[in-house]
Structure 1
């Protein structure tokens, strides 16, 4: 999944800030066991990215496992100045984000949806470069 994020960022994340929404294994829990965020963060850091993250419930648990990332206070704080926004865990709170506000907050209008929560046509209408998993139209510009 980290490679998917790197590809969405033009093949290079060295020196870039990547914002992750969701760290836990699944929504409505603080469970970090086998959470995909663990390998995604490692892959992004290995590629030279700085990672900032927000999770509604799991940040205390995540801090012990991911001490070398920055933790945000909310999704918009997480996205501030980031080169890409990545949805990792499909929390209900992330389904109702203000994407116009997020676009204005991001340094680059890149959204990578690893859970296929968002509709590609909605992202395109908002001027976001959108990448998702396993869809016929994987990317909008």
Structure 2
């Protein structure tokens, strides 16, 4: 934070001007990310995503080779999730514009983008991220997830 002052006279608290390094674009971006986080944590979104994965996960195999149908499913997923997010964001913010948001997203450094929100957003534009998510869902659904039962250690305090 920078403080600008006129050195020719003493200052009162009301005369100190604070300047932030953040622009209104940064605030808009942060506000949008916060809203997306709220949306993806909502049961309605979780249900939408789980329903889609449930309907389509059996098409996917955990191999290097990709089938043509994967692209169709990925495009369908991207369209559904983008439309859902855009609808919810426009309901919340009259100023929201998806194209502007995507441009702001592309201008961000990769190390600044972590967490569930960015995982979801990445899955919309990156086929491999989407494939990893749907295969992880399939494995969990079929009971093929990581078995953590062997790492629990019990001991008494006698």
The alignment's TM-score, normalised by the length of structure 1, stands at 0.26
**By percentage of residues, which structure has more helix?**
2
Which structure has the larger Rg over C-alpha atoms? 2
The alignment's TM-score, normalised by the length of structure 2, stands at 0.24
